[in-house]
Amino acid sequence: MKLEVHTWPATYGEQAQPRMGFFTDTSICIGCKACEVACKEWNHVPMQLQGFTGNSYDNSVDLGADRWRHVAFVEQRLPADATDGGSLVQIAERGAAIDAGVQTYQEGDGVRWLMASDVCKHCTDAACLEVCPTGSLFRTEFGTVVVQEDVCNGCGYCVPACPFGVLDKREDDGRVWKCTLCYDRLRDDQEPACAQACPTNSIQFGELDELRERADRRLARLRDAGQDQARLYLADEDNGIHGAGAFFLLLDEPEVYGLPPDPVDTVRDLGSIWAAAGAAALALGAGLAAAVLGGRG
Amino acid sequence: MDRLPRYVPPILRQLAGDRLGLARAAQSRRSAELVARTRTADRVVRSICPYCAVGCGQKVYVKDEKVVQIEGDPDSPISRGRLCPKGSASEALVNNPMRETTVRYRPPRATEWQDLSLQAATEMIAERIIRTRAETWEETTEDGEPLKRTLGIHFLGGATLDNEENYLIKKFFTAMGAVSVENQARI
Amino acid sequence: MGSNMAEQHPVGFQWVIEAKERGAKVIHVDPRFTRTSAMADRHVSIRAGTDIAFLGGVINYVLAHRRWFTDYVRHYTNGPVILKPEFRDTEDEAGFFSGWNPDDGLYGIDTWGYDGTGGETAGGKTEQTADVSGDQSQGAHGMDLEGGEPPHYDDTMEHERCVLQVLTRHFARYTPEAVADICGCAPEDVVAVAEAMAENSGRERTSAVVYAVGWTQHTVGVQNIRAASILQLLLGNIGRPGGGILALRGHANIQGSTDIPTLYDILPGYIPMPHPQRNPTLDTFVAENGPATGAWGNLRSYMVSLLKAWWGEAATEDNDYCFGHLPRVDGDHSHYAMMLRMLDGGVQGMLCVGQNPAVGSANSGLMRAALAKLDWLVVRDFQPTETALFWRDSPDHEDGTVTAQGIDTEVFFLPAATHVEKDGSFTNTQRLLQWREKACEPPGDARSETQWIWHLGCIIREKLADSEDPRDRPIRELTWAYPLEGRDAEPDPDAVLAEISGCRADGTYLDSYDDLQDDGSTSCGSWIHCGVYKDGVNQSARKKPGTEQNWIAREWGWAWPKDTRIIYNRASADPDGRPWSERKRYVWWDETSGSWTSLGDGPDFPPTKAPDYDPPRDARGLAAIAGDKPFILHPDGRGWLYSPTGLTDGPLPAHYEPQESPFVNALYGQQQSPTRQTYPRDKNPYHPSDGVAGADVFPFVLSTYRLTEHHTAGSMSRTVSYLAELQPEFFCEVSPQLAAERGLRHGEWATIVSARNAVEARVMVTDRIKPLRVQGRVMHLVGAPYHWGGVGIVTGDSANELLPLSLDSNVHISEYKVSTCDIQAGRRPRGPARVALVDSYRRRAGVRE
Amino acid sequence: MTAGASYHGQPVIKAPVWTWQIPWYFFTGGVAGASAGLGYLCELRGDDALARRAWAAAMAGICVSPALLIADLGRPQRFLNMLRMFKVTSPMSVGTWILQGSAASTAIAAAHAWFGLFPRLARVAAPAAALLGLPLSTYTAALVTNTAVPVWHEARRTLPFVFGAGAGLSAGAAALIGADPATAAPARRLALGGAAMELATTTLMHRGLGEHGRPYSQGRCKHFDQAASGFLAVGSALLAARGSRSRTAAAAGGVLLLAGAVSTRWSVFAAGRQSAADPHAVIDPQRAGIARGERIGGARTEPVARDAAAPAGPAS
């Protein structure tokens, strides 16, 4: 069974807009968290005080109902002879310093500090909206995925369906919340709050096609400059979610940033899921019949 | 689906071109009519961020005489519409529930604040400045060189005061002979 | 260096990222690996407080390898100028310059001058004293030079007493190896940075140096910046696009509140406050404070125009334009000096406006003790700050050393308007005035400072209206009438700006400070701002979109002086007025029109003065500046590699250890800056430095700093939910090695102790903090952001509790960036036990007495 | 180099926010669904007494189920939004409609079985209830397997059978309690057969899960799983040995088997939470799949030349 879940742009007819998205280039993220704040301020997302986590400079922990942009901080020690440094620190140069016997520790080591702003991926194949029973989650005319706060009844199905752990239920509210890619601003031809605020343009907003081309050029440049670890994440369609509306340039493996290396839309397996459920139902029917009708008495 | 009136329930709208109910059919009335609050604001004025000295441009949206949104001003050649986390939190600074909007007064040795009108407070402060100035006035040095000042009053200003405010403060206190006017730049 | 730009000026940092994308190389020299380091091509970790040593190493490399920009240095700097034979360098005097007077701890500066000039003056004095605040009171200073020309100079720069040679000898001992041993970096680091700078400077290229309070908050703060100035002048990077020394200021209008100062020692436009004089006349003031040549040659015009702005009709030629109305300064009346005076009972009243010394000033405990000695205190802020609440809630109350009933101070809290609730201008970090439009009225009793000070002034003027006392004349005669507007009868800030900008007697507006007269026919509140209201238009309110202009964007806001976006930009052309290169073209001489033209900026130079202009010997003011001398604020028009005047602590930077240091000064016999201001007393004890008994009690270097997510002492961020949650708790950053040494566990608590106080912080063990090997020993750094206090959504101990007061004598700024401390695992003791803990440390270190 | 890495040990996906009502609903839905089938088949066979008991159990299950579901909603007053659409991609949506149909038809069939009401309607309603009861019993498995939770999703081929078997055994066991052993043979066969099947399919599921099945040997999940096996084994043994003779033994066996079915559902529920909370449960299998070359994964390191003319948006 193969379902055609790509309902955009077809269902919007003439009202369809170009698909909009984010390209988050983490190689120029300075970890300022302007995106987190601008998002909260625009969308009136409540405070979520979680105390000192010790997770480098990240005290917001993860994406969730009260955090639609989240900046990850990863501190890494790298061997001095690492030529695939990837960070913008020239680690190779450390070696000379060590030879001089000046640095007393991290002998042979350099530091790099990765920062990356995470957000809802607005998947092409979006499990959350597919499993949503109420239609609260829907795909907009911009190809984005939005929870409608006037519809959501807090069934919570989307929460475990999302392969990125983006959605969560707001405790005192009962509904599920996530990034809307600033649907209201988009309808007003404005950039989403996070992208507008981002000081270094690490978060770039635009038409997805154009962003993908830009990302390819950027990747080529970084790799030419010797950034062997640079990679694009979810920029293509040949992955388990058929590409994302929000994709990333990373400087290490996705899981280092808390992202799944191979995310898959669960609904891809819907055929086998329904088949198994159907078969099990038939088996149950057969069992019932056997028990009742097949007995000796 | 464009032709279907809004009161047709989503489950029926599904039949008209969104069988799986993943997109258009699921759109609620609120979503269909959603408007950004920057659009519905009564006016927008242009300001500058109050935190650091980069001087980022801000657009301040006002609705019903209340600030409803502050965001970066794309026209600014300094900031190009961008803001840092503090700048992005400016609206929350202005509409902060922690803001105190009435005068508080604490008499000597009291253990709690008391109420006081703004007018009374200003009057009392004026009296104290005059009194302290009189009591601590230095007319000349020991050598008879003119000093014409008081060191009995210390003014310490934050660096978020406007140029015009600083000017009036410096002008006024200098005329009063209160020379120790200082600010955050020293700190 | 000395700046964590990505964290503290993130939006400004977009331009660094953009430059980097275009191929610029970014180097970050800093004790910590910060978010700026993460974005840099190279991070060099140095010990806090050793910036002069590092820069000295870079300068030495440039000098030793003859990498300076010869034409620039020869024509535009005082490199060729020959100094007095009496001048002795730190090389000759074991770490002192000539003129040191050990009895009063001050320098006499007679020997520092150019050969053939008279004794240098500063504020009418020939000795640098603590009441003379370096450049801020001496902007108007400089030597008198006939025709604006130093008497003796050698354009070959070979003369042994010429500045370049003095410089070469002075910095010769800053070898890469010596520097590395002091800073804890590698010798290669010094060489690589110097080479990168030198390579990227010259006709075709320029390099910029960016600093912030990482340089200023030291006992040698001004000399840190002087060192950078020397480097940039040698490399020809001043007055040119892409060059310069960029001071990143930390507060929205901290630049403006220095230009139009709320500072004790200067008047608007850096005119010095008068000192007591035998002959207290305007003429004496001008003679003693203004050199005859250069832009300061017109000091009398600036001063008379200011006096006219303040006292209007009352200021006449007959009464010296009310010069006598100005109060005099004769000592250090700066913030910390006043707080100490307050502690001794010498100050009755204090007004804190948007400022929070109870957590924001160094040695906060001493600050609170001083506040308790006041009769009255006025605090204006958005909510009662730690300062407004010092009588009720403070660490001292928690310790049980004070009670509310025991504090006599009367406290007024007045709510303040926010930036969107008033019109007004901020001056950003690049001297650019930008106007803010009022969005709405402030709530409740909240008022703007303009409204508040004006009404307060009116009440006081009314009360003194009938006074016969001569001391009340200045306040009675003050020009205090402004058009009022709005619900709260607020003086129109636009009208105030117009007064600052200035006008003629007939009410027409002035275009620039060139128009100012010394005969009372012009009035101007701040000469450097003259023209900001040119043509009756608020020039700071210009907001033509940046996308509709070239990169200079001159129709956005207004920059002092004369709306100049790059200061001293005459230096962007060669001595003949041609661009140094096509690539770096900015301002150049246009022969056909006979004037300076540019890419869009105004020339910071007399517009029609030809490059070959040679001033007559009797010329004064700007007329005395030659056509190839860009530095028009100096009497000789040259950039000063060597500062013959203006500084209290020496004409050249020299490495001195911080007030508190675990190391001895490896370069000179003198440990600390000899002119630093210290206040040894019970509430402000200092730790012994290396070589003194007890130094090992506080073995670690402590550095305080800010985080992107918070603002200063936190009043504007700890109270804002979206910011509070991002950095909710006071933490300290330590290396894994120090953690192992002291049993500190990541995420748990540590107590940081100094002789001033003990505070507790969560522990962040991180590879970003590196132990460094200095003088053969391992040095550990304890990093402590200082944003917390007792008020707000998130609260915590304040790192400022730990710091001593030890000041740079030029500018009276304290050494926040480096002191020493100890650190222990676990939370701090509560109540009297905390006091006992600090006492035990004091005893062990022998600092009690 | 970063194999085994995670972001500060934080989970990659979110654990389900569902609370205690949901595992209970897995149970009550199964009871309702399979009991309807049992009731209808017994009616066909003419075993009216057993049929009435089964219809009663079905009725009880179908009444409790929506209550549990509504109680679990974040906004219970919006439960009607469940019927706003019909979405085949959402087992919860499909299940809601099944539940609606099931509830209506079961109510009619039960009313007829007990009180003789709606005889004409019941002729359609009873078989409808019986038929709808089958997917009602197994769609909950589809619901949980159609998520990103590895321990659930990877069991998508077996879990429906576990839930189906559990439904059967629950219906049988429920009908046994208080019934005359002499007339309850079909129920007993159903209960015993179902229990055997549940044990078997559970074992199959665990085996099939391999690495993904780690939660079943850890924490709360493990305890529920062990309890389920115990209850089912003891209940089955009791029932097999004495169930056909002793009313008490039949009742006790029935209760034990019901406890077993409940425990199984709780173990599945707990497994989901544990699996979601462990970043490595998500990352490692994905990484292994990439390493084996079975999957490309989300990241790529080489730029691709894009055909700029390729349309990806609406013609504009």
- Residue ranges covered by each domain of chain D: 21-291
- Are the Cβ atoms of C725 and A103 closer than 8 angstroms? no
Nearest to B106 by CA among B116, B96, B92, B93: B116
Structural domain for B108, as ranges: 100-128
Kindly tell me whether chain C and chain D come into contact, counting contact as 3+ Cβ pairs under 8 Å: no
- Are the Cβ atoms of C725 and A97 closer than 8 angstroms? no
Give yes or no for residue A100 having a pLDDT over 70. Answer: no
Structural domain for A256, as ranges: 10-264
Give yes or no for residue D273 having a pLDDT over 60. Answer: yes
Pick from A134, A163, A284: CB nearest D137: A284
Set of chain D residues whose Cβ sits within 8 Å of the Cβ of B25: 85
The token duo for C410 is 């009367």
Q: What is the 3-state secondary structure (H, E, C) of chain D?
A: CCCCCCCCCCCCCCCCCCCCHHHHHHHHHHHHHHHHHHHHHHHHHCCHHHHHHHHHHHHHHHHHHHHHHHHHCCCHHHHHHHHCCCCCCCHHHHHHHHHHHHHHHHHHHHHHHHHCCCHHHHHHHHHHHHHHHHHHHHHHHHHHHCCCCHHHHCCCCCHHHHHHHHHHHHHHHHHHCCCCHHHCHHHHHHHHHHHHHHHHHHHHHHHHHHHHHHHHHCHHHHHHHHHHHHHHHHHHHHHHHHCCCCHHHHHHHHHHHHHHHHHHHHHHHHHHHHHHHCHHHHHHHHHHHHHCCCCCCCEECCCCCCCCCCCCCCCC
Checking C269-272 for CB contacts under 8 A at 24+ apart, the result is C269/C302, C269/C306, C269/C526, C269/C527, C269/C528, C269/C529, C270/C136, C270/C139, C270/C140, C270/C528, C271/C139, C271/C140, C271/C299, C271/C302, C271/C303, C271/C306, C271/C527, C272/C123, C272/C137, C272/C138, C272/C139, C272/C140, C272/C141
Set of chain C residues whose Cβ sits within 8 Å of the Cβ of A89: 37-38, 40-43
What pLDDT is recorded for position D309?
Answer: 42
Does B91 contact chain A (CB < 8 Å)? yes
Q: Domain check: are B152 and B178 in the same one?
A: yes
Question: Which H helix or E strand runs over C487?
Answer: none
Q: Could you give the CA distance from residue B93 to residue C712 in angstroms, rounded to a whole number?
A: 15
Pick from A223, A232, A291: CB nearest D189: A291
Q: Could you give the CA distance from residue D270 to residue D266 in angstroms, rounded to a whole number?
A: 6
Kindly tell me whether chain A and chain B come into contact, counting contact as 3+ Cβ pairs under 8 Å: yes
The CATH code of the domain at C677-845 is: 2.40.40.20
pLDDT band per the 50, 70, 90 thresholds, residue D308: very low
pLDDT band per the 50, 70, 90 thresholds, residue A295: low
What pLDDT is recorded for position A105?
Answer: 32
Distance in angstroms between the alpha carbons of the first and the last residue of chain B: 65
- Considering Cα of A74, then A76, then A82, then A85, what sign does the dihedral take? positive
Q: Which of C262, C325, C726 to mutate to test the interface with B (most CBs of B within 10 A)?
A: C262
- Are the Cβ atoms of D86 and B25 closer than 8 angstroms? no
Set of chain A residues whose Cβ sits within 8 Å of the Cβ of B68: none
The token duo for C531 is 């023209």
Residues 335-364 (C) with a CB less than 8 A from some CB of B: 335-336, 338-339, 341-342, 346-357, 360-362
- Are the Cβ atoms of C404 and B109 closer than 8 angstroms? yes
Mean of pLDDT over chain C: 94
Better pLDDT: C420 or A77: C420
CB C581 within 8 A of CB C258: no
What pLDDT is recorded for position A225?
Answer: 86
Question: B126: helix, coil or strand?
Answer: helix
Q: How many CB atoms lie within 10 A of CB C37?
A: 26
Give yes or no for residue C424 having a pLDDT over 80. Answer: yes
Q: Could you give the CA distance from residue C29 to residue C36 in angstroms, rounded to a whole number?
A: 10
Q: How many structural domains are present in chain A?
A: 2
Q: How many CB atoms lie within 10 A of CB A297?
A: 9
C786 burial via Cβ count (<10 Å: 0-12, 13-18, 19+) = buried
Q: Could you give the CA distance from residue A111 to residue A77 in angstroms, rounded to a whole number?
A: 5
Q: Domain check: are A196 and A287 in the same one?
A: no
Does B76 contact chain C (CB < 8 Å)? yes
Q: How far is B104 from chain A (nearest CA, A)?
A: 28
Nearest to D285 by CA among D17, D12, D7, D9: D12
Q: Domain check: are A65 and A183 in the same one?
A: yes
CB under 8 Å to B19, separation ≥6 — which residues? none
pLDDT band per the 50, 70, 90 thresholds, residue D221: very high
E-strand spans in A10-51?
20-25
Distances, alpha carbon D90 to alpha carbons A166, A273, A274, D96, in Å? 18, 11, 10, 10
Assign a CATH topology to domain D21-291.
Formate dehydrogenase/DMSO reductase fold (1.20.1630)
- Are the Cβ atoms of A135 and B17 closer than 8 angstroms? no
CB A157 within 8 A of CB A131: yes
Q: Domain check: are A229 and A163 in the same one?
A: yes
Nearest-5° Cα angle at C487, C486 to C492: 25
Mean of pLDDT over chain A: 88
The token duo for D313 is 């948006």
pLDDT digits (tens, 9 = 90+) for C584-596: 999 999 999 999 9
A70 occurs within a structural domain: yes
Residues 74-113 (A) with a CB less than 8 A from some CB of D: 74
Set of chain B residues whose Cβ sits within 8 Å of the Cβ of C546: 75-78, 80
Residues 34-73 (A) with a CB less than 8 A from some CB of C: 34, 36-37, 40-41, 46-54, 56-57, 59-60
CB A52 within 8 A of CB A66: no
Q: How many structural domains are present in chain B?
A: 4
A257 occurs within a structural domain: yes
Q: Domain check: are A164 and A293 in the same one?
A: no
Pairing of strands C731-734, C758-765: parallel
Q: Domain check: are A254 and A279 in the same one?
A: no
pLDDT digits (tens, 9 = 90+) for B167-178: 999 999 999 999
Q: Could you give the CA distance from residue A160 to residue A227 in angstroms, rounded to a whole number?
A: 35
pLDDT band per the 50, 70, 90 thresholds, residue C289: confident
Give partners of B (≥3 CB pairs < 8 A).
A, C, D
pLDDT digits (tens, 9 = 90+) for C534-558: 999 999 999 999 999 999 999 999 9
Q: Could you give the CA distance from residue C161 to residue C82 in angstroms, rounded to a whole number?
A: 5
- Ranges of H-type helices in C524-668: none
Q: Domain check: are A213 and A289 in the same one?
A: no
Q: Domain check: are B22 and B8 in the same one?
A: yes
Burial C370-398 (b: 16+ CB within 10 A, else e): bbbbbbbbbbbbbbbbbbbbbbbbbbbbe
A5 occurs within a structural domain: no
Q: Is the ipTM of this complex over 0.90?
A: yes
What pLDDT is recorded for position A294?
Answer: 78
Does B14 contact chain C (CB < 8 Å)? no
Q: Could you give the CA distance from residue A232 to residue D298 in angstroms, rounded to a whole number?
A: 8
Burial C645-660 (b: 16+ CB within 10 A, else e): bbbbbbbbbbbbbbbb
pLDDT digits (tens, 9 = 90+) for C751-807: 999 999 999 999 999 989 989 999 999 999 999 999 999 999 999 999 999 999 999
Distance in angstroms between the alpha carbons of the first and the last residue of chain C: 37
A275 occurs within a structural domain: yes
A240 occurs within a structural domain: yes
What pLDDT is recorded for position A80?
Answer: 45
Question: A131: helix, coil or strand?
Answer: helix
pLDDT band per the 50, 70, 90 thresholds, residue A291: very high
- Are the Cβ atoms of C38 and A89 closer than 8 angstroms? yes
| DSSP conformation class of C661 | -
- Considering Cα of B72, then B75, then B76, then B81, what sign does the dihedral take? positive
CB under 8 Å to D214, separation ≥6 — which residues? D151, D275, D278, D281
What pLDDT is recorded for position C417?
Answer: 97
Amino acid, res. C429: T
Better pLDDT: B119 or C289: B119
- Ranges of H-type helices in C121-175: 134-138, 163-171
Pick from B93, B104, B105: CB nearest C418: B93
Q: How far is C721 from chain A (nearest CA, A)?
A: 6
Q: Could you give the CA distance from residue D68 to residue B125 in angstroms, rounded to a whole number?
A: 66
Nearest-5° Cα angle at A166, A161 to A167: 70
pLDDT band per the 50, 70, 90 thresholds, residue C127: low
Give yes or no for residue A90 having a pLDDT over 60. Answer: no
Q: Domain check: are A256 and A145 in the same one?
A: yes
Searching chain A, which residue's CA lies closest to the CA of residue B94?
Answer: A41
pLDDT digits (tens, 9 = 90+) for B52-98: 999 999 999 999 999 999 999 999 999 999 999 999 999 999 999 99
- Are the Cβ atoms of A200 and C762 closer than 8 angstroms? no
pLDDT digits (tens, 9 = 90+) for C668-703: 999 999 999 999 999 999 999 998 999 999 999 999
CB under 8 Å to C285, separation ≥6 — which residues? C274, C277, C303, C323
Nearest to D142 by CA among A176, A1, B15, A167: A1
Give yes or no for residue D127 having a pLDDT over 50. Answer: yes
Mean pLDDT, residues A150-170:
97
What pLDDT is recorded for position D312?
Answer: 44
Question: B12: helix, coil or strand?
Answer: helix
CB A135 within 8 A of CB A112: no
pLDDT digits (tens, 9 = 90+) for B107-158: 999 999 999 999 999 999 999 999 999 999 999 999 899 999 999 999 999 8
The token duo for B81 is 């519409």
Domain boundaries, given as residue ranges, for chain C:
1-44, 677-845
Q: Domain check: are A172 and A284 in the same one?
A: no
Does C465 contact chain B (CB < 8 Å)? no
CB C826 within 8 A of CB C666: no
pLDDT band per the 50, 70, 90 thresholds, residue A98: very low
Set of chain B residues whose Cβ sits within 8 Å of the Cβ of A151: 26, 28
- Are the Cβ atoms of B71 and A197 closer than 8 angstroms? yes
Q: Omega before A9 cis (within 30°)?
A: yes
Does A210 contact chain D (CB < 8 Å)? no
Q: Could you give the CA distance from residue A36 to residue A68 in angstroms, rounded to a whole number?
A: 7
What pLDDT is recorded for position A121?
Answer: 98
**Range in A219-233, C417-431, D22-36, D253-267 with the lowest mean pLDDT:** A219-233
pLDDT digits (tens, 9 = 90+) for C24-62: 999 999 999 999 999 999 999 999 999 999 999 999 999
Does B41 contact chain C (CB < 8 Å)? no
Pick from A59, A90, A100: CB nearest C188: A100
Strand partners, C210: C246
Does B73 contact chain A (CB < 8 Å)? no
Pick from D83, D84, D89: CB nearest B20: D89
Q: Could you give the CA distance from residue C269 to residue C303 in angstroms, rounded to a whole number?
A: 10
- Are the Cβ atoms of D89 and B10 closer than 8 angstroms? no
- Considering Cα of B67, then B68, then B72, then B76, what sign does the dihedral take? negative
Q: Could you give the CA distance from residue B73 to residue B75 in angstroms, rounded to a whole number?
A: 5
Question: C386: helix, coil or strand?
Answer: coil
